[in-house]
């Protein structure tokens, strides 16, 4: 009965607007729901009101905490509290020292020597809540990275070292002494520091060398700001403060400030959101379509009635939503998408700013600058490999030809200029000359059906007929990988913050299923630039990235729809919470303003 009443408010219709709910009512009935379901958000580590405990919910199961095997955001967020890598990233996503206090390149930039800090300790939970400690040594780094590269382990992160190391891993990973580790590469790798900053670069204790991998996944031992205290799968996970953590703030206070982190696993996002509004969780990541209209304006700001109750962090997110155009051959029919003019017509027919406002409430930027997110093209300081633990101050400005500049127009001009360009490209296409216009097919999952209908209507207005094919996520990926679909909706979330990660999707040797080039795009000039980008030094790399981006803008193998933004909602009592374009969860500098008894 309670649930039915809540749903009645939850799905009230307001005119022609999408379904939303009244959050003021949710606050009251969310509390009632907790009582009915017997949810006690304040037991275990937060029984004492003076403890600083951060609460959040994961709606996705966590199955392992072994850095070699974690893949989902939910798992990465937790292991990043338990482990450190040699390298971390700052808010601008530039590599900075972590367990390595410095490093230098040598041997024509094929060798990186890392100097480890001597005050980092692995935290073993111990008995009766009393943790034990073991100092970090270079043999721990050798053990950890060798696991990732070992083909017998079959880690999904093995790609970070693929074709980069000698097959004899004892030559690739070398412990020079207790505090010096050496990484030997077959050739220079411009993005290696960024790769080591991923979870696959986290350092484990070699005390677990002879332990079964399943044990490592259930009992992780790291040097991070927290250690695992309790884990009931799909119910609750508790992290406790590492009492001997090596980082301090500017006032010489040891981090982290929090005493514990409490993770719940409520799978229903709407229920979890109600609990967040009622105060059971300190922050909430992302917004479901069913309630984003209630909270956000169409320019991605909190509506006035919530701006005093909640705080929000909205930042660019390294995710490009796009439409892929298959450019290979079909066995029994003509592939009209091999015609660049048709692909350009499809792109310019789309009102991208309107799409972002209508479907995302402004949480994104129109995809007008190519596949790679602009934050990686315009705001990234690319690493110089011939300096020690430093990067250049060079800022890359996206270069475009005059014809491309004319096409990257402002929103105010878009209504007229965009359609004019779309029709011009359409008339030049072979498709337009067909007396009986062929029907193209776009494949998508049900979650994006509304958006694809929006695209279908836009294309229809310039004379391009498109049918919609609904597939499950798994089947869509299979058909895409096998080259059996014409148009497909996709998203590309960066594995690491470097333009190389996006450009790899168009490198000819990576034609699917051998890599992420799902469109089967081929361009010899682009391939040459990509090979340079992978190993190039210094300023030339930034120039080549801009040139490669220009080629993709001109050829349009994909249609970028928008560059995503992430949103984090949190309560006013949470201090020090931040976010960046990689959507990491960094809790070591978070505080709870008042005692738990005052905030819950």
**Residues of the chain falling short of pLDDT 70:** 1-49, 129, 378-414, 595-600
**CATH code for position 331:** 3.10.105.10
User: Helical H runs in 40-88?
Assistant: 73-82
114 within domain boundaries:
yes
264-292 tens-digit pLDDT: 999 999 999 999 999 999 999 988 777 78
Task: Examine the domain organization and report whether 405 and 548 are in the same domain.
Answer: yes
Strand residue runs (E) in 179-337: 180-184, 226-232, 236-241, 260-264, 283-285, 311-325
Task: Examine the domain organization and report whether 256 and 340 are in the same domain.
Answer: no
Task: Examine the domain organization and report whether 240 and 330 are in the same domain.
Answer: no
Task: Examine the domain organization and report whether 18 and 71 are in the same domain.
Answer: no
The domain tally of the chain equals: 3
Task: Examine the domain organization and report whether 556 and 576 are in the same domain.
Answer: no
CB 289 within 8 A of CB 18: yes
Task: Examine the domain organization and report whether 232 and 361 are in the same domain.
Answer: no
* β-sheet bridge partners, residue 597: none
Helix (H) or strand (E) holding 366: strand 364-366
pLDDT score recorded for residue 400: 41
413 within domain boundaries:
yes
155 within domain boundaries:
yes
Task: Examine the domain organization and report whether 82 and 29 are in the same domain.
Answer: no
Task: Examine the domain organization and report whether 481 and 526 are in the same domain.
Answer: yes
Task: Examine the domain organization and report whether 527 and 579 are in the same domain.
Answer: no
123: left (phi over 0), alpha (psi -120 to 50) or beta: beta
Task: Examine the domain organization and report whether 322 and 457 are in the same domain.
Answer: yes
Three-state secondary structure string covering 558-594: EEEEEEEEEEEEECCCEECCCCCCCCCCCCCCCEECC
277 within domain boundaries:
no
Task: Examine the domain organization and report whether 394 and 462 are in the same domain.
Answer: yes
Which distant-in-sequence residues (6+ apart) come within 8 Å of 505 by Cβ? 371, 492, 516, 517, 518, 519, 558
Question: To which residue do tokens 């391009």 refer?
Answer: 464
Range of the domain at 209: 57-260+571-599
366 within domain boundaries:
yes
Task: Examine the domain organization and report whether 13 and 110 are in the same domain.
Answer: no
Q: How far apart are CA 62 and CA 583, in angstroms?
A: 18
pLDDT score recorded for residue 293: 83
47 within domain boundaries:
no
417 within domain boundaries:
yes
Three-state secondary structure string covering 444-455: ECHHHHHHHHHH
Total-model pTM:
0.84
* β-sheet bridge partners, residue 570: 283, 311
pLDDT score recorded for residue 322: 98
265 within domain boundaries:
no
**CATH code for position 147:** 3.40.190.10
Inter-CA distances, 246 with 120, 133, 205, 243, 542, Å: 5, 12, 16, 9, 35
pLDDT score recorded for residue 129: 67
């Amino acid at each position: 009965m309670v649930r039915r009443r809540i749903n009645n408010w939850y799905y009230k219709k307001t005119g022609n607007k999408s379904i939303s709910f009244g959050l003021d009512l949710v606050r009251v009935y969310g509390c009632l729901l907790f009582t009915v379901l017997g949810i006690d958000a304040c037991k275990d580590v937060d029984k004492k009101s003076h403890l600083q405990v951060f609460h959040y919910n994961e709606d996705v199961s966590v199955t392992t905490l072994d850095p070699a095997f974690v893949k989902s955001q939910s798992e990465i967020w937790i292991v990043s509290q338990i482990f450190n890598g040699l390298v971390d990233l700052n808010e601008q996503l530039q590599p900075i020292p972590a367990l390595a206090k410095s490093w230098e390149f040598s041997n024509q930039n094929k060798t990186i020597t890392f100097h480890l800090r001597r005050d980092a300790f692995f935290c073993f939970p111990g008995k009766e809540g009393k943790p034990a400690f073991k100092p970090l040594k270079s043999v721990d780094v050798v053990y950890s990275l060798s696991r990732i590269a070992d083909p017998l382990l079959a880690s999904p992160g093995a790609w970070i070292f693929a074709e980069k190391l000698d097959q004899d891993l004892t030559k690739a990973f070398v412990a020079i002494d207790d505090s010096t580790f050496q990484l030997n590469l077959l050739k220079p790798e411009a993005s290696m520091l960024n790769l080591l900053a991923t979870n696959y670069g986290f350092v484990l204790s070699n005390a677990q060398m002879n332990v079964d991998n399943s044990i490592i996944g259930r009992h992780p031992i790291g040097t991070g700001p927290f250690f695992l205290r309790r884990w009931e799968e799909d119910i609750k996970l508790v992290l406790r403060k590492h009492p001997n953590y090596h980082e301090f703030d500017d006032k010489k206070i040891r981090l982290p400030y929090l005493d514990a982190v409490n993770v719940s696993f409520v799978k229903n996002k709407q229920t979890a959101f109600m609990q967040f509004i009622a105060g059971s969780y300190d922050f909430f990541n992302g917004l479901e379509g069913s309630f984003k209209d209630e909270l956000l304006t169409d320019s991605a700001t909190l509506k006035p009635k919530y701006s005093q109750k909640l705080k929000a962090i909205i930042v660019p997110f390294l995710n490009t939503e796009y439409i892929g155009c298959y450019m290979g051959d079909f066995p029994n029919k003509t592939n009209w998408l091999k015609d660049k003019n048709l692909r350009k017509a499809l792109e310019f027919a789309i009102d991208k700013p309107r799409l972002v406002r209508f479907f995302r409430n402004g949480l994104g930027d129109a995809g007008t600058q190519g596949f790679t997110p602009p934050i990686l093209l315009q705001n990234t300081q690319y690493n110089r490999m011939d300096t020690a633990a430093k990067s250049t101050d060079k800022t890359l400005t996206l270069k475009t030809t005059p014809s491309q500049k004319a096409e990257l127009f402002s929103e105010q001009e878009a209504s007229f200029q965009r359609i004019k360009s779309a029709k011009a490209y359409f008339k030049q296409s072979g498709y337009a000359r067909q007396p009986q216009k062929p029907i193209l097919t776009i494949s998508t999952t049900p979650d994006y059906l509304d958006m694809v209908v929006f695209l279908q209507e836009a294309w229809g207005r310039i004379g391009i007929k498109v049918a919609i094919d609904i597939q499950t996520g798994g089947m869509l990926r299979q058909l895409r990988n096998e080259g059996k679909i014409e148009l497909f909706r996709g998203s590309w979330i960066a594995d690491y913050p470097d333009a190389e990660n996006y450009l790899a999707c168009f490198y000819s040797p990576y034609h699917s299923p051998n890599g992420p080039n799902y469109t089967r795009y081929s361009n010899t000039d682009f391939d040459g630039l990509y090979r340079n980008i992978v190993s190039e030094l210094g300023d030339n790399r930034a120039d080549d990235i801009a040139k490669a981006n220009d080629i993709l803008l001109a050829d349009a193998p994909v249609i970028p729809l928008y560059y995503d933004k992430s949103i984090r909602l949190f309560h006013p009592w949470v201090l020090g919470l931040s976010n960046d374009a990689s959507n990491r969860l960094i809790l070591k500098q978070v505080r709870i303003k008042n005692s738990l008894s005052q905030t819950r």
